[in-house]
Structure 1
Amino acid sequence: MAPRKKSKKATKKNPEKSENDLEAKYRRSILDVALLQDQIALQGECVLKIQSDRTDLKRHMRNMEQNLQYEIQDHRDINSDLSRMYKTMHSDLTNKVTSLEKEVSHLQEELVLCQEELKRVKREHEEVKQEKDGIISDLQCKLDNMEIDHEKILHETLNGLTSQLSVVRQGWEVKSTSLHQKYKERLAEFGLNALDI
């Protein structure tokens, strides 16, 4: 605070009063100076505290920037690793897909060939079956005809044998009758009766 100036008239009029005023002003000035020095000291402490805080903040900021740089580097490394892994996986999957597509294509070709082979085998099987059925039918016909022929031959043979047996029987009957008669006559010559024997 700046001390107030009094007019020269008042100083001249009352020198004692003026001395007291001067002393009061001096004391007041000392108090003002002490107060200002306290304020300056307080402000100096504040400045020191602010400078210390500033230094701490700068250090903290450097640490944070360093940590941020580490984080950025880690992030870049992770991105790089992930990108590399993605490219590797993408390449592997592309190769696998290509391989599987080739395999599918190959298997489809094999399937088409197998289906054609199956059709051919079925057709051949059907032809063989029809041929076999035809042969079986022909053989059955021949067998039936042979059976009929054998029956005819058998009947004819049996009829021939029967007629031959009949002829032979008649011949044997004639011979046996003649033999019986002969033996009866001989027995009679010996005086024997054939019915007694």
Structure 2
Amino acid sequence: MPPKRKTKTTKKNPEKIENDLEAKYKRSVLDVAILQDHIALQSESVKMVQSNRMDLRRRMRHAEQKLQHERQDHRDVNSDLSRQYKTMQTELTNKVKRMEKEVSQLSEELVLCQDELSKEKREREQLEWEKDATIADLQHKLDNMETDYEKILHENLDSLTSQLSVAQQGWEDKSTTIHQNYKELLSEFGLNARHI
């Protein structure tokens, strides 16, 4: 066990007591001021919360009205879109029927055109074959004519060459005779043909 402490009993000084009371009073006044400030802040907060609550209620009412208008607009738009969809569906169905009919007609026309094209191709091939045969025949005739003309030309040239040869021989004989005559004439005059 711990030893017992001896406590001193002192008498409090009246001045000290008065100072303590004054300090307590000041502290109490300060506490009261703090509490009053706190109450004022709480009052302001309560007023602000009430103001915010009223503002939120007003905004909520406005939002509800806006939502109702949007719902009504949505219903109107849905109704209009449904009507437009039905109209478009009817138009599209009619268009599909028209186009199916048109496709059927075009298919028939295509078959006819393909038949005509095949016929035209056969006719063209026949014409080309006939043309090629004619060209080959004409080419053969042209080759024969060319050969004939060559033959005629060679014969004529040979004939002309022989005629020229005969003529040349005649001219040479004639020129030799003329030359001899001139030589004799010159020598009669006493001139030598080599010096002239």
Whole-Å separation in 2 of the counterparts to 1:186 and 1:121 = 92
Structure 1 residues 182 and 84: CA distance shift in structure 2, 3 A: same
Cα separation, partners in 2 of 1:82 and 1:195, compared to 1, 3 Å = closer
TM-score by length of 1: 0.53
Judged with a 3 Å threshold, the aligned counterparts in structure 2 of structure 1 residues 81 and 187 are, in CA distance, closer, same or farther, namely: closer
- Distance in 2 (CA, whole Å) between partners of 1:155 and 1:140 is 22
Query: What corresponds to 1:187 in structure 2?
Result: 186
Gaps of 5+ in 1: 1-74
Segment drifting more, 116-125 vs 173-182: 116-125
1:5 is matched with which residue?
A: none
Uncovered stretches (5+) of structure 2, i.e. residues with no partner: 1-74
1:170 corresponding residue in structure 2 = 169
Q: Matched residues, percent identical?
A: 68
Give the Å deviation of 1:183.
0.9
Partner of 1:129: 128
1 CA distance for matches of 2:80 and 2:127? Answer: 67
- State the alpha-carbon separation in 1 of the partners of residues 140 and 134 from structure 2: 10
Letter in 2 for 1:176: S
SS in 1 for 2:176: helix
State the partner residue of 1:52: none
C-alpha displacement at 1:88, in angstroms? 4.9
> Equivalent residue for 2:39?
none
Q: 1:196 is paired with a residue of what secondary structure? A: coil
- Bigger radius of gyration: 1
Q: Which has the higher contact order (CA 8 A, sep 6+)?
A: 1
For residue 113 of structure 1, what is the aligned residue in structure 2? Answer: 112
Query: C-alpha offsets along residues 19-66 of structure 1, whole Å, 9 cap, x if unaligned?
Result: xxxxxxxxxxxxxxxxxxxxxxxxxxxxxxxxxxxxxxxxxxxxxxxx
Letter matched to residue 186 of structure 1: L
Rounded to whole Å, the distance in 2 between the matches of 1:101 and 1:87 is 21
Aligned-residue CA RMSD (Å)? 2.9
Aligned to 1:156: 155
Letter in 2 for 1:119: S
Distance 1:85 1:173 in 2: 118
